[in-house]
Every structure is written in structure tokens, then in C-alpha cells.
Structure 1
Amino acid sequence: MAQNENLAELSTAGVAVWLDDLSRDRIRRGNLQSLVDEYSVVGVTTNPTIFAAAISGSDSYDDQVHAMAVRKVSVEEALRTITAADVRDACDLLSPVAKRTGRDGRVSLEVSPGVARDTDATAAEAAHLWWLVDRPNLFIKIPATQEGLAAITTSIAKGISVNVTLIFSPERYRAVMDAYLSGLEQRVRNGGSLSGIESVASFFVSRVDTEIDKRLDKAGADPSLRGKAALANAQLAYQAYEEIVSSDRWRTLKAHGANPQRPLWASTGVKNPEYPDTLYVSGLIAPDTVNTMPEKTLKAYADHGGLGTPIQKTYDKAAQVMDAVSAAGVDLDDVFKVIEDEGIQKFVDSWDELTESVRSELEDKS
């Protein structure tokens, strides 16, 4: 079937189009397949918020939940069984994409947000989920907390493909790239193959504007700075990516068959209705990147989106924007700390909601 022209053009520019949503209904009713066939979708990301909405809003899970209720399985086991089943089915649906592209066709499943500050627990759960889903085109999502960095290295060294999530600053992004390369180097030293190991680094966008705009308003700063920081911040992150993939360290790993850890633009749905609804897509155009979008943003870009200035031509302006934000009195280090903490807490809250939703379903079906 013919692909939407705007999204096909985005893909041709080097931006892989992924969907930031998943449910059993999407898979069973053919919606996900139609997005692959008509909207250039080549990957899927999930999180606890997405699964909480999917399970509580559909009866497609009833039979599976009833079977687990009869068996009296724990809430934790039921939760992982349900989410792993959806991710496994999505991996199978996207398997032809994975075979065709060699790097896309991926579906992400997140470790419990409750272990985000525990290195060993994160690494252990990542290994368990990798085993549980058992598909080569799976990504395990690991938060980019300080504690998560070592878990990323451990997981990559074991041959587990990782989607590193909740990255907000170029500085933390550099640490994430270092953790990825360290894992690859460790695997090489241990005699392992780098074939098939993929990784993306999910750099969050819209939440940066939400927090910085609020602080700019409070400081009485120049209104023209509003809505500029998130794109500038992400553009400078891509500059850091280019520096890493041109380094001798990377070239050595590439010679061993390593794949680059692509930047993934996350949180690309616009939260401020005053801003263009495709702002965080059109403004982040660069080769070897991924943009994971809510369906609303995906359809908006399909309808009226267009390519903006390539990121490589924005570095000077992006640096000027961030300098101006700092000069206006915004403490960027504090911004990034606050939104990382909030990001983790939001996923913890969603995880709790998901757990309670499954618990309720088990009780109803018992």
C-alpha cells in the first residue's frame, strides 16, 4: 500500500518513524499493521502509562486474565505475562520490518520504574524480560539514572539490546553513550559477538520546554525564548552523537561489527497548544535518528508536517538559545534534575496504576 508522502519523506531524511503506543486491540484489529503499511511506522515504544490505559480500557485481556485468576498467579506475574504477550506479538508483527531494515522493527518493554535507582535490580530485570519475551527485535528500556548507567553496560555486555530512556541533558546523554560503548567493549573482551546488538537513546523533548518555559515566565524573561529550549537542547545532543561516532573509540568498535546507538526523540507530542503540533518532529531532522510519536502527532505530521532545518545546521543557534536561557536566570542543572525525578515518579505512579488495574481484573475474574 502507498505510504503517506510526508512520513515517507521524513523516513528518507533518515528519521525512523516509531509509534509511542501499544495495545492488544491495536494488534488484533489491524491498526498497527495499517500504520506500518501506510504511515511508515517501523517501531513501537511502550511504557507503564501506555499499558495501564490499554488494559483498563479493553476487554481483549479478559480471557488471559481469567486463566491467570483461576491459576491464582501473583499480580506481578500476571502483569509481566500480559505486557510480555503484547510486546511479543508486536515483535512478531514487526519482524518483516526488522529483516528488511536490519535495525528497526523494534518494540520496547520497560523495566519496573521502582528499580530505577538500583543497578543490580535493573540489570537482573532486564535479563529476565529479555528471556521472557524471547524475540531478537526487542528493546529493554532502562532509565538513564546514575544507577542505570552501569546496568546499561552490563546488559549490553550480555548481548541485550537496550532502549535507554529518560535522558534530558546532553551531559547525561554523553554518559549514556559511554555506558553503551563500555558494554560493547566488555563484550568484545569476553569474546562475544556484537552482531544483532542494537541500542537507542531516548532523549526527551517536550518536557524540557514545559519546565523551562515556566521558569522563564517566573523570571520575566524575553517571551521570544519560550518554546525554543527543547529543540536546542536536543540539537546539541545530536552534536554530541556526531562527536562520538567520529571518534577512534567508536571506529574500533565498528570494526568489530558494532551498530551505533541512535538518538531517539521521545516525548514529541506538543504539550503547549500555542506551539505547532509537529514542532518536535519538523525541528529534529537528522540521519540515523528515531522519532517516536503518539498517534495524534503521527497523524498531524502525515496531514501537514514538513522537514525543518537539518540539525547539523543548527548547532550555533542552539548553543545561543541555551546560553540565553541560562543568562535569563534558569538553572539548567536544576531543570534536568527536576524533570528526571518527575519522569521517574510519573512512571512509578503509572506502574502502580497498572498494578492495581491488573489486581482488580484478577479479582473480578476469579
Structure 2
Amino acid sequence: MSTTNRLAQLSDAGVSIWLDDLSRERLDSGNLAALVRDKHVVGVTTNPTIFANALAKGDAYDAQVRELAARGASLDAAVRELTTTDVRNAADLFRDVYTATNGVDGRVSIEVDPRLAKDTDKTVAEAQDLWKTVDRPNVLIKIPATEEGLPAITRTLAEGISVNVTLIFSVERYKAVIEAFFAGLEQAKANGHDLRGIHSVASFFVSRVDTEIDKRLDAIGTEAATALRGEAAIANARLAYAAFEELTATDRWKALAAEGANAQRPLWASTGVKDPNYSPTRYVDQLVVAGTVNTMPEKTLDATAEQAEITGDTVTGKGPDAQIVFDKLRVVGIDIEDVFKVLETEGVEKFEKSWEELLESVTGQLEKAKG
């Protein structure tokens, strides 16, 4: 089977393929356009780590940095302009996809400053500012699903702003995200917004769950524990999808859908495999279900094209079996609640660290440009 056929199969199964990466080099070289044309890529996600890596490599940003330095732009203003320029240009590149899919795909995500993850009001203000700055209908503003982020999600949607909810690890938190989404749409309708124009995805992180739980299973070391290695992440995602089906079958959602609301699609994030003993496509071909998004680093995209086994829906109806996996994890001694608490804390800290690295990189580039 050709590489294009495997990706076409995934797309035909109803999974939107988004690239988990963006850089000026990808845009300028035509690489991103080629992925859209040849690899069925219909969207892009970014995060502070991606921007930090992009700004630290090559010279693609040098001209804009010199211009920013010449007019005395502050560090925060420079970072904002550099990142939103990439997002705006990517949004323009995906505009045809956006139009062809009636706004479902062709999406580009940009995250609020991760240092605001514990501040609801500042997160909302940042989301509104990013929405206005990028000024493209196919942008999604990424807001972390922290406890403080939940009301920010509702308030941002209420302003008619499309949102990518990120850093979701537990099914319990995911249900709260869906509730926040419903509330946001209800308030948006009350505020006079056309619900047909508001889109959202919920980014449910996958591979990091296996990384954390496998480490704990290895520490327990029993035969029953080690037999569960690599089972948790896919089971967790399948339970999340079951929750999605449950909540979108409620009268509350049906009332919103009748007003033209778009469902908040589940998005499988962190789908790059961390353990080399696992198949590099396990978080793709084991999570195939229509109406979802899989956002992949290019390495995973290439692996999917070369060796994924797309056999149809591998999620629907698997909730009961997935629950059995979690029951077994508890029996062998895994503290599930602690796992998700640790993952959320680490997720925010990692993005904060990347943001600091981004600030340091831009600081150095500005100083160099000033001579």
C-alpha cells in the first residue's frame, strides 16, 4: 500500500490529520503546503515548545527580528508579533481547506501564555487579544484545562471565539471541559453570536499517560503490573470518547445542536510514541473514529504513512473493556488520580519552561540585531 493510501484511509475514516508543528521555515520553504497537498494534513497545532524550537533554529526569523529591534519593540511585543505572524500566515495557507470543510478543518491553534494557566481573568484577556491580533476566522485559541482554565473556556466561547482546550489528561476533567463548552455556547447564544461560526476541539493527551503509568508499573514490578504496560493511554482515550458520546446524547446538547452548534471534537494529542518498544503508530491506528482529530509530529505522520494499519473504527463500543484496564490498574496499586494530577502539573511546567526559553531566545536575537 502506498504512503498516500494509508493517510487517505485515515482521512476517509473520518479522522482529521493535523500537524503538531509550525515554523517560519516550514511556511517559507513550501514544506507545509506540500504536506497539505500530499499528506492529507488539514490543520496545525502549536504550543510554547514548538515556538521555542522554531525560534532557536536557523535564520528564518532574522529579518523580522531586525525590524522589531529597529523600532524598539519590547520583548513581549516581539514574541507576540513573531508567533502570531506564523499563525496568521499558516491560517492563510489553510484558508481553502477551511472553506471546503465549512470551517471544520483548516484550523491553526495558538496557545495563551502558559504562565497564565492558573489565572482565569488574565487567560480570558489573553485569548481575546490573540483572537484580535491574528484576525483570522480559522484560528483556534488554546486554553489549558486547568481548574482555573475551565471558566476561562466558557467565557472565551461566550465571546464567539473558537477554542482548542489543551492539556486534558483525565476523563473526569474532560467531562468538565465538555460542560464548560456547553455553558460557553449557551452564553454565546445569549450574547447574540451565531453558534454555527464557533468551533472547538478538546485536546486529550495520550502518550504521556503511558509514560507515567508504565514507570509506576515497572516500580511495582509484579507480573500483574508489568502485564498492564502500554494499556492505559489507549484505554483512557477510549473512555474519553465514551464520555463524549454520553454527553452529546443529552437534551442539553441536542438543544444547542438545534441552534446550529458544532460539536467539540475530541482531539488526540501527544501521539508521538515515547517508548521505542511500542509501535510508532499505536496512538493513531488504535484511536480511529469518525469526527475526531489526530495531531501528529511529522515523525509520527511519516510512520503512519509508511506502516499504520487502518482497519476502521477502533474506538466505538470499547468503553467497557477500557474500564476493565483501569480497574486492573487500581488493583495492582496505581493511584490514578495522582497520575493525572502529576501529568497536569508537569504539562503546565513544561510549557512554562518552554515559554521562558522562547523569551530568552528572542532576547538574544533582539540584542544581536541591535548590535
Structures share fold, TM-score greater than 0.5: yes
Q: Distance in 1 between matches of 2:309 and 2:98?
A: 26
- Match in the other structure for 1:144: 145
- Match in the other structure for 2:57: 57
What's the TM-score, normalizing by structure 2? 0.97
- Match in the other structure for 1:69: 69
User: Is contact 2:3-2:306 (8 Å) kept?
Assistant: no
Deviates more, 1:52-61 or 1:304-313: 304-313
Give the aligned residue type for 1:29. S
- Match in the other structure for 1:122: 123
What displacement does 1:245 show? 1.3
User: Is contact 1:14-1:287 (8 Å) kept?
Assistant: yes
Does residue 305 (structure 1) correspond to residue 308 (structure 2)? The answer is yes
SS in 2 for 1:312: coil
User: For residues 105-146 of structure 1, what are the alpha-carbon distances to aligned partners after superposition, in whole Å with 9 as ceiling and x for unaligned?
Assistant: 000000000000000000000000000000000000000000
Unaligned ranges ≥5, structure 2: none
Give the aligned residue type for 1:235. R
Does residue 358 (structure 1) correspond to residue 362 (structure 2)? The answer is yes
Q: Distance in 2 between matches of 1:293 and 1:352?
A: 24
User: Is contact 1:18-1:293 (8 Å) kept?
Assistant: yes
Query: Identity of counterpart residues, as a percentage?
Result: 57
- Match in the other structure for 2:89: 89
What's the TM-score, normalizing by structure 1? 0.98
Unaligned ranges ≥5, structure 1: none
User: For residues 158-204 of structure 1, what are the alpha-carbon distances to aligned partners after superposition, in whole Å with 9 as ceiling and x for unaligned?
Assistant: 00000000000000000000001100001112222112100000000
User: Is contact 2:20-2:297 (8 Å) kept?
Assistant: yes
Residue 245 of structure 2 is aligned with which of 242, 266, 272? 242
Q: Distance in 1 between matches of 2:64 and 2:303?
A: 35
Does residue 349 (structure 1) correspond to residue 353 (structure 2)? The answer is yes
User: Is contact 1:95-1:137 (8 Å) kept?
Assistant: yes
Q: Distance in 1 between matches of 2:195 and 2:159?
A: 10
* RMSD of Structure 2 on Structure 1 (CA): 1.0
- Match in the other structure for 1:211: 212
User: Is contact 2:123-2:152 (8 Å) kept?
Assistant: yes
User: Is contact 1:91-1:105 (8 Å) kept?
Assistant: yes
SS in 2 for 1:84: helix
Q: Distance in 1 between matches of 2:92 and 2:247?
A: 33
Q: Distance in 2 between matches of 1:231 and 1:268?
A: 10
1:6-25 matched pairs, under 5 angstroms:
6-25=6-25
Does residue 262 (structure 1) correspond to residue 269 (structure 2)? The answer is no
What displacement does 1:313 show? 3.2
SS in 2 for 1:146: coil
Q: Distance in 2 between matches of 1:191 and 1:341?
A: 37
User: Is contact 1:3-1:38 (8 Å) kept?
Assistant: no
Deviates more, 1:105-114 or 1:305-314: 305-314
Q: Distance in 1 between matches of 2:43 and 2:330?
A: 36
Q: Distance in 1 between matches of 2:243 and 2:230?
A: 22
SS in 2 for 1:225: coil
- Match in the other structure for 1:330: 334
Q: Distance in 2 between matches of 1:190 and 1:276?
A: 47
User: Is contact 2:285-2:314 (8 Å) kept?
Assistant: no
Give the aligned residue type for 2:310. L
Give the aligned residue type for 1:135. R
Give the aligned length: 365
Q: Distance in 2 between matches of 1:270 and 1:244?
A: 30
Does residue 182 (structure 1) correspond to residue 183 (structure 2)? The answer is yes
Give the aligned residue type for 1:184. L
SS in 1 for 2:195: coil
- Match in the other structure for 2:325: 321
- Match in the other structure for 2:193: 192
Q: Distance in 1 between matches of 2:7 and 2:58?
A: 29
User: Is contact 1:3-1:37 (8 Å) kept?
Assistant: no
User: Is contact 1:116-1:148 (8 Å) kept?
Assistant: yes
Give the aligned residue type for 2:81. T
Q: Distance in 2 between matches of 1:365 and 1:292?
A: 35
Q: Distance in 1 between matches of 2:3 and 2:76?
A: 40
What displacement does 1:3 show? 8.0
Give the aligned residue type for 2:268. W
What displacement does 1:247 show? 1.0
User: Is contact 2:159-2:191 (8 Å) kept?
Assistant: no
What displacement does 1:333 show? 0.3
User: Is contact 2:3-2:305 (8 Å) kept?
Assistant: no
Give the aligned residue type for 2:236. N
Give the aligned residue type for 1:295. E
SS in 2 for 1:280: helix
User: Is contact 1:44-1:292 (8 Å) kept?
Assistant: yes
Q: Distance in 1 between matches of 2:117 and 2:353?
A: 13
SS in 1 for 2:295: strand
